[in-house]
Amino acid sequence: MPRMRIDELPTPCAVVDHERLERNAARMGERMTRLGVRLRPHVKTHKCAEIARLSVRGHFGGVTVSTLAEARGLAEAGFDDLTWAVPIALDRIDDALLLGRRVRSFALLVDHPDAARALSAKARGGEQRVPVFLKVDCGYHRAGVDPEDPASVAFARELASLPGLEFRGLLTHAGHAYHATRRDELAAFARAERDVPVRFAERLCAAGVRVDEVSVGSTPTMSVAEDLAGVTEARPGNYLFFDAFQASIGSCDLEDAAFWVVATVIGHARAQNALLVNAGALSLSKDPGATHVDARCGFGRVASANRSRAFPSLRVTALSQEHGQIGSETPIDFDALPIGAKLAIVPNHSCLSAALFDRYHVVRDGRVAEVWRALRGW
Protein backbone atom coordinates (compact mmCIF):
# COMPACT_ATOMS: atom_id res chain seq x y z
CA MET A 1 0.00 0.00 0.00
CA PRO A 2 1.43 3.42 -0.88
CA ARG A 3 2.45 5.38 2.16
CA MET A 4 0.35 8.43 2.95
CA ARG A 5 1.48 11.97 2.47
CA ILE A 6 1.16 14.25 5.48
CA ASP A 7 -1.68 16.18 3.87
CA GLU A 8 -3.64 12.95 3.43
CA LEU A 9 -3.81 12.24 7.18
CA PRO A 10 -7.12 12.74 9.01
CA THR A 11 -6.77 15.81 11.20
CA PRO A 12 -6.02 16.93 13.80
CA CYS A 13 -3.03 14.62 14.09
CA ALA A 14 0.48 14.57 15.48
CA VAL A 15 3.46 14.25 13.17
CA VAL A 16 7.07 13.44 14.05
CA ASP A 17 9.72 13.97 11.44
CA HIS A 18 12.23 11.13 11.72
CA GLU A 19 15.14 12.97 10.18
CA ARG A 20 14.83 15.94 12.54
CA LEU A 21 14.30 13.61 15.49
CA GLU A 22 17.50 11.70 14.72
CA ARG A 23 19.43 14.91 14.16
CA ASN A 24 18.25 16.37 17.48
CA ALA A 25 19.08 13.13 19.30
CA ALA A 26 22.54 12.91 17.74
CA ARG A 27 23.41 16.54 18.43
CA MET A 28 22.54 16.36 22.12
CA GLY A 29 24.11 12.92 22.45
CA GLU A 30 27.39 14.16 20.99
CA ARG A 31 27.34 17.24 23.26
CA MET A 32 26.89 15.15 26.39
CA THR A 33 29.60 12.70 25.34
CA ARG A 34 31.99 15.58 24.62
CA LEU A 35 31.22 17.11 28.03
CA GLY A 36 31.89 13.79 29.74
CA VAL A 37 28.48 13.04 31.24
CA ARG A 38 26.09 10.15 30.79
CA LEU A 39 22.90 11.00 28.91
CA ARG A 40 19.73 9.89 30.69
CA PRO A 41 17.11 11.45 28.40
CA HIS A 42 13.78 12.44 29.89
CA VAL A 43 10.94 10.69 28.10
CA LYS A 44 8.22 13.04 29.39
CA THR A 45 8.12 14.92 26.09
CA HIS A 46 7.18 11.96 23.90
CA LYS A 47 6.31 9.10 26.32
CA CYS A 48 7.08 6.65 23.53
CA ALA A 49 9.23 3.50 23.66
CA GLU A 50 10.45 3.80 20.06
CA ILE A 51 11.63 7.37 20.61
CA ALA A 52 13.21 6.46 23.95
CA ARG A 53 15.15 3.69 22.18
CA LEU A 54 16.35 6.07 19.51
CA SER A 55 17.43 8.61 22.14
CA VAL A 56 19.63 6.17 24.09
CA ARG A 57 21.33 4.70 21.03
CA GLY A 58 25.09 4.93 21.61
CA HIS A 59 24.54 5.78 25.30
CA PHE A 60 24.27 3.71 28.46
CA GLY A 61 20.54 3.08 28.14
CA GLY A 62 19.20 4.83 31.25
CA VAL A 63 16.13 7.03 30.95
CA THR A 64 14.21 9.51 33.08
CA VAL A 65 10.44 9.30 33.48
CA SER A 66 7.79 11.65 34.81
CA THR A 67 5.01 9.12 35.45
CA LEU A 68 4.70 5.56 36.61
CA ALA A 69 2.82 4.79 33.38
CA GLU A 70 5.94 5.78 31.41
CA ALA A 71 8.11 3.69 33.71
CA ARG A 72 5.88 0.63 33.42
CA GLY A 73 5.62 0.92 29.64
CA LEU A 74 9.36 1.35 29.20
CA ALA A 75 10.13 -1.53 31.60
CA GLU A 76 7.83 -3.64 29.45
CA ALA A 77 9.80 -2.49 26.39
CA GLY A 78 13.07 -3.67 27.97
CA PHE A 79 14.44 -0.54 29.68
CA ASP A 80 15.93 -1.51 33.02
CA ASP A 81 17.53 1.66 34.39
CA LEU A 82 14.98 4.35 35.11
CA THR A 83 14.74 7.43 37.32
CA TRP A 84 11.37 8.88 38.27
CA ALA A 85 12.25 12.56 38.44
CA VAL A 86 9.22 13.82 40.37
CA PRO A 87 9.23 13.75 44.18
CA ILE A 88 7.48 10.52 45.15
CA ALA A 89 3.84 10.79 46.23
CA LEU A 90 3.17 8.68 49.31
CA ASP A 91 0.27 6.88 47.65
CA ARG A 92 2.47 5.66 44.78
CA ILE A 93 5.24 4.15 46.91
CA ASP A 94 3.82 0.62 46.83
CA ASP A 95 3.41 0.72 43.04
CA ALA A 96 6.90 2.13 42.60
CA LEU A 97 8.50 -0.54 44.78
CA LEU A 98 6.64 -3.21 42.85
CA LEU A 99 8.05 -1.94 39.57
CA GLY A 100 11.49 -1.52 41.15
CA ARG A 101 11.60 -5.28 41.75
CA ARG A 102 11.14 -5.94 38.01
CA VAL A 103 14.02 -3.81 36.72
CA ARG A 104 17.71 -3.44 37.50
CA SER A 105 17.27 0.10 38.85
CA PHE A 106 14.24 2.29 39.42
CA ALA A 107 15.47 5.37 41.26
CA LEU A 108 13.06 7.62 43.15
CA LEU A 109 13.23 11.21 44.21
CA VAL A 110 12.57 12.92 47.55
CA ASP A 111 12.89 16.44 48.86
CA HIS A 112 11.10 16.09 52.21
CA PRO A 113 12.06 13.98 55.22
CA ASP A 114 8.46 12.72 55.63
CA ALA A 115 8.53 11.21 52.14
CA ALA A 116 11.99 9.75 52.73
CA ARG A 117 10.91 8.14 55.99
CA ALA A 118 7.69 6.78 54.47
CA LEU A 119 9.70 5.31 51.60
CA SER A 120 12.21 3.78 53.98
CA ALA A 121 9.44 2.28 56.12
CA LYS A 122 8.05 0.47 53.06
CA ALA A 123 11.42 -0.41 51.51
CA ARG A 124 13.15 -1.82 54.59
CA GLY A 125 13.15 -5.57 54.70
CA GLY A 126 13.03 -5.76 50.90
CA GLU A 127 15.61 -7.82 49.04
CA GLN A 128 17.21 -4.80 47.39
CA ARG A 129 17.73 -1.30 48.64
CA VAL A 130 15.73 1.33 46.74
CA PRO A 131 17.90 3.86 44.88
CA VAL A 132 16.99 7.40 45.88
CA PHE A 133 18.03 10.92 44.86
CA LEU A 134 17.75 14.08 46.91
CA LYS A 135 16.18 16.86 44.84
CA VAL A 136 18.05 20.14 45.09
CA ASP A 137 16.73 23.58 44.17
CA CYS A 138 19.20 25.34 41.87
CA GLY A 139 17.09 28.48 41.51
CA TYR A 140 13.86 27.34 39.86
CA HIS A 141 12.10 27.25 43.27
CA ARG A 142 9.62 24.58 42.21
CA ALA A 143 10.90 21.65 44.23
CA GLY A 144 14.03 20.60 46.03
CA VAL A 145 15.89 21.39 49.20
CA ASP A 146 17.71 24.68 49.68
CA PRO A 147 21.41 23.79 49.43
CA GLU A 148 22.32 26.77 51.64
CA ASP A 149 20.12 25.59 54.51
CA PRO A 150 22.06 23.58 57.13
CA ALA A 151 18.91 21.48 57.58
CA SER A 152 19.47 20.17 54.04
CA VAL A 153 22.83 18.69 55.09
CA ALA A 154 21.16 17.04 58.07
CA PHE A 155 18.42 15.70 55.79
CA ALA A 156 20.96 14.31 53.31
CA ARG A 157 22.80 12.61 56.18
CA GLU A 158 19.56 11.05 57.41
CA LEU A 159 18.59 9.99 53.88
CA ALA A 160 21.94 8.27 53.41
CA SER A 161 21.41 6.24 56.58
CA LEU A 162 17.74 5.28 56.25
CA PRO A 163 17.23 1.52 56.08
CA GLY A 164 16.01 0.08 52.81
CA LEU A 165 17.33 3.01 50.77
CA GLU A 166 20.46 3.44 48.67
CA PHE A 167 21.35 7.14 48.55
CA ARG A 168 22.60 7.79 45.01
CA GLY A 169 23.15 11.54 45.10
CA LEU A 170 21.71 14.87 44.03
CA LEU A 171 19.31 15.76 41.23
CA THR A 172 18.38 19.23 40.02
CA HIS A 173 16.56 20.85 37.10
CA ALA A 174 16.99 24.46 35.94
CA GLY A 175 13.40 25.03 34.83
CA HIS A 176 13.98 28.76 35.33
CA ALA A 177 16.21 28.67 32.23
CA TYR A 178 12.93 29.08 30.34
CA HIS A 179 12.88 32.68 31.58
CA ALA A 180 15.81 33.47 29.27
CA THR A 181 15.10 35.70 26.31
CA ARG A 182 18.13 34.84 24.14
CA ARG A 183 20.59 32.02 23.62
CA ASP A 184 23.47 33.97 25.18
CA GLU A 185 21.50 34.23 28.44
CA LEU A 186 21.20 30.46 28.77
CA ALA A 187 24.82 29.92 29.80
CA ALA A 188 24.28 31.53 33.23
CA PHE A 189 21.41 29.13 33.96
CA ALA A 190 23.57 26.21 32.83
CA ARG A 191 26.34 27.34 35.18
CA ALA A 192 23.92 27.52 38.15
CA GLU A 193 22.49 24.12 37.30
CA ARG A 194 25.99 22.67 37.53
CA ASP A 195 27.52 24.79 40.28
CA VAL A 196 24.74 24.58 42.87
CA PRO A 197 24.54 20.77 43.16
CA VAL A 198 28.29 20.26 42.66
CA ARG A 199 29.09 22.65 45.52
CA PHE A 200 26.41 21.08 47.69
CA ALA A 201 27.86 17.64 46.90
CA GLU A 202 31.28 18.89 48.01
CA ARG A 203 29.83 20.16 51.29
CA LEU A 204 28.06 16.85 51.84
CA CYS A 205 31.25 14.91 51.16
CA ALA A 206 33.08 17.14 53.67
CA ALA A 207 30.31 16.33 56.15
CA GLY A 208 30.88 12.61 55.58
CA VAL A 209 27.95 11.94 53.22
CA ARG A 210 28.95 10.05 50.10
CA VAL A 211 27.49 11.46 46.88
CA ASP A 212 27.97 9.21 43.84
CA GLU A 213 25.72 11.00 41.38
CA VAL A 214 25.04 14.59 40.40
CA SER A 215 22.18 14.61 37.91
CA VAL A 216 21.24 17.82 36.10
CA GLY A 217 19.42 18.84 32.98
CA SER A 218 16.96 20.81 30.97
CA THR A 219 16.92 21.31 27.23
CA PRO A 220 17.89 25.01 27.25
CA THR A 221 20.82 24.49 29.65
CA MET A 222 22.11 21.31 28.03
CA SER A 223 21.92 22.97 24.62
CA VAL A 224 24.56 25.51 25.65
CA ALA A 225 26.49 24.10 28.66
CA GLU A 226 30.24 24.04 28.12
CA ASP A 227 31.42 22.85 31.53
CA LEU A 228 29.79 19.98 33.39
CA ALA A 229 32.71 19.10 35.65
CA GLY A 230 31.44 17.26 38.71
CA VAL A 231 28.18 16.29 37.01
CA THR A 232 27.66 12.58 36.31
CA GLU A 233 24.52 12.58 34.17
CA ALA A 234 22.21 14.89 32.22
CA ARG A 235 18.44 14.60 31.71
CA PRO A 236 17.23 16.87 28.90
CA GLY A 237 14.03 15.70 27.23
CA ASN A 238 12.37 18.33 25.10
CA TYR A 239 15.37 18.55 22.72
CA LEU A 240 14.11 15.51 20.80
CA PHE A 241 11.05 17.42 19.60
CA PHE A 242 11.89 21.04 20.42
CA ASP A 243 9.06 23.57 19.90
CA ALA A 244 8.20 27.21 19.34
CA PHE A 245 9.17 28.13 22.93
CA GLN A 246 12.64 26.64 22.60
CA ALA A 247 13.12 28.47 19.31
CA SER A 248 12.07 31.76 20.95
CA ILE A 249 14.64 31.50 23.75
CA GLY A 250 17.41 30.28 21.45
CA SER A 251 17.76 26.59 22.39
CA CYS A 252 17.15 25.68 18.74
CA ASP A 253 16.02 27.01 15.38
CA LEU A 254 12.33 26.69 14.61
CA GLU A 255 13.40 24.49 11.70
CA ASP A 256 14.68 21.90 14.25
CA ALA A 257 11.18 21.28 15.66
CA ALA A 258 10.52 17.59 14.93
CA PHE A 259 6.95 17.49 16.22
CA TRP A 260 3.94 19.32 14.84
CA VAL A 261 0.19 19.17 14.65
CA VAL A 262 -1.55 19.02 11.30
CA ALA A 263 -4.88 20.85 11.15
CA THR A 264 -7.43 21.57 8.45
CA VAL A 265 -8.89 24.95 7.57
CA ILE A 266 -12.59 24.65 8.49
CA GLY A 267 -13.68 28.27 8.27
CA HIS A 268 -12.91 31.68 6.82
CA ALA A 269 -13.68 34.59 9.13
CA ARG A 270 -12.94 37.26 6.55
CA ALA A 271 -14.37 40.06 8.69
CA GLN A 272 -11.88 39.16 11.43
CA ASN A 273 -9.07 38.42 8.95
CA ALA A 274 -8.84 34.95 10.51
CA LEU A 275 -8.84 31.31 9.54
CA LEU A 276 -10.56 28.68 11.63
CA VAL A 277 -8.81 25.30 12.01
CA ASN A 278 -9.79 22.05 13.71
CA ALA A 279 -6.86 22.10 16.16
CA GLY A 280 -7.89 23.65 19.45
CA ALA A 281 -6.63 23.57 23.01
CA LEU A 282 -6.96 19.76 23.04
CA SER A 283 -4.46 19.50 20.19
CA LEU A 284 -2.06 22.35 20.88
CA SER A 285 -2.50 22.92 24.65
CA LYS A 286 -3.03 26.39 26.01
CA ASP A 287 0.60 26.94 26.90
CA PRO A 288 0.97 30.70 26.38
CA GLY A 289 4.48 30.33 24.98
CA ALA A 290 7.45 32.65 25.35
CA THR A 291 5.39 35.81 25.89
CA HIS A 292 8.39 37.38 27.64
CA VAL A 293 10.16 37.30 24.27
CA ASP A 294 7.18 38.09 22.04
CA ALA A 295 3.96 39.18 23.75
CA ARG A 296 2.00 38.32 20.61
CA CYS A 297 3.53 34.91 19.96
CA GLY A 298 0.14 33.18 19.97
CA PHE A 299 -0.25 29.43 20.47
CA GLY A 300 1.99 28.12 17.71
CA ARG A 301 3.84 28.80 14.46
CA VAL A 302 2.14 28.02 11.18
CA ALA A 303 3.49 26.42 8.00
CA SER A 304 2.35 24.22 5.14
CA ALA A 305 1.43 20.68 6.28
CA ASN A 306 4.87 19.25 5.46
CA ARG A 307 6.67 22.40 6.72
CA SER A 308 8.21 23.08 3.31
CA ARG A 309 6.80 26.62 3.47
CA ALA A 310 6.57 28.75 6.60
CA PHE A 311 3.81 31.32 7.10
CA PRO A 312 5.52 33.63 9.59
CA SER A 313 2.78 36.25 9.45
CA LEU A 314 0.13 33.72 10.59
CA ARG A 315 -0.32 33.21 14.34
CA VAL A 316 -2.67 30.98 16.33
CA THR A 317 -4.46 33.79 18.09
CA ALA A 318 -7.23 31.98 20.02
CA LEU A 319 -8.11 28.47 21.09
CA SER A 320 -11.23 26.81 22.35
CA GLN A 321 -11.54 23.09 22.90
CA GLU A 322 -11.52 21.90 19.27
CA HIS A 323 -11.34 25.23 17.41
CA GLY A 324 -8.24 27.22 16.66
CA GLN A 325 -8.25 30.72 15.24
CA ILE A 326 -5.35 31.81 13.06
CA GLY A 327 -4.96 35.52 12.56
CA SER A 328 -2.50 37.84 10.89
CA GLU A 329 -1.46 41.48 11.05
CA THR A 330 -1.43 41.53 7.25
CA PRO A 331 -4.40 40.56 5.06
CA ILE A 332 -4.72 36.78 4.80
CA ASP A 333 -4.77 35.31 1.30
CA PHE A 334 -7.94 33.27 1.78
CA ASP A 335 -7.81 31.94 -1.80
CA ALA A 336 -4.40 30.39 -1.12
CA LEU A 337 -5.74 28.74 2.05
CA PRO A 338 -9.18 27.43 1.04
CA ILE A 339 -11.55 25.40 3.19
CA GLY A 340 -9.90 21.96 3.43
CA ALA A 341 -6.34 23.26 3.22
CA LYS A 342 -3.95 21.52 5.62
CA LEU A 343 -1.57 23.43 7.85
CA ALA A 344 1.26 22.47 10.19
CA ILE A 345 1.30 24.11 13.60
CA VAL A 346 4.47 23.89 15.68
CA PRO A 347 3.08 24.26 19.19
CA ASN A 348 4.53 26.43 21.92
CA HIS A 349 5.19 23.44 24.17
CA SER A 350 5.59 20.10 22.43
CA CYS A 351 5.47 18.09 25.70
CA LEU A 352 1.95 19.33 26.46
CA SER A 353 0.71 19.12 22.88
CA ALA A 354 2.14 15.63 22.29
CA ALA A 355 0.44 14.41 25.48
CA LEU A 356 -2.92 15.15 23.87
CA PHE A 357 -2.42 12.54 21.13
CA ASP A 358 -2.33 8.76 21.51
CA ARG A 359 -0.10 8.19 18.48
CA TYR A 360 2.57 9.83 16.35
CA HIS A 361 2.66 9.64 12.57
CA VAL A 362 6.32 9.20 11.87
CA VAL A 363 7.38 10.77 8.60
CA ARG A 364 10.35 9.74 6.52
CA ASP A 365 11.07 11.45 3.19
CA GLY A 366 7.73 13.24 3.31
CA ARG A 367 5.65 10.09 3.74
CA VAL A 368 4.09 8.51 6.83
CA ALA A 369 6.32 5.49 7.40
CA GLU A 370 5.17 4.32 10.83
CA VAL A 371 2.73 4.98 13.64
CA TRP A 372 4.15 4.96 17.17
CA ARG A 373 2.01 4.77 20.28
CA ALA A 374 2.49 6.84 23.40
CA LEU A 375 2.34 5.78 27.06
CA ARG A 376 -0.45 7.87 28.49
CA GLY A 377 -1.95 8.03 31.96
CA TRP A 378 -0.32 8.01 35.36
Ligand X SMILES: Cc1ncc(COP(=O)(O)O)c(C=O)c1O
- What is the per-residue burial (b if ≥16 Cβ within 10 Å, else e) of 336-372? ebeeebbbbbbbbbbbbbbbbbeebbbbeeeebeeee
Check binding of 85 to ligand X (CB under 6 A): yes
Residue 174 makes CB contacts below 8 A (sequence gap 6+) with 138, 139, 140, 189, 190, 192, 193, 216, 218, 220, 221
Check binding of 218 to ligand X (CB under 6 A): yes
Check binding of 235 to ligand X (CB under 6 A): yes
Residue 354 makes CB contacts below 8 A (sequence gap 6+) with 14, 45, 46, 47, 241, 259, 360, 374
CB of 235 to ligand X, least distance (A): 4
CB of 238 to ligand X, least distance (A): 4
- Binding residues for ligand X restricted to 250-289, rule: CB under 6 A: none
- Binding residues for ligand X restricted to 24-43, rule: CB under 6 A: 42
CB of 249 to ligand X, least distance (A): 11
CB of 278 to ligand X, least distance (A): 28
Check binding of 236 to ligand X (CB under 6 A): yes
CB of 146 to ligand X, least distance (A): 17
* Cα 172 from Cα 134, distance rounded (Å): 9
* Cα 357 from Cα 336, distance rounded (Å): 29
Phi, psi of 68, deg, nearest 5: -70, -30
Taking CB under 6 A as the binding criterion, the range among 216-224, 269-277, 285-293, 352-360 that sits at the site for ligand X is: 216-224
Q: According to CB under 6 A, which one of 40, 46, 168, 173 is a site residue for ligand X? A: 173
String of contacts with ligand X for each residue 133-172, x by CB under 6 A = ----------------------------------------
Residues that bind ligand X in the complex, under the rule CB under 6 A: 42, 44, 85, 173, 217-219, 235-239
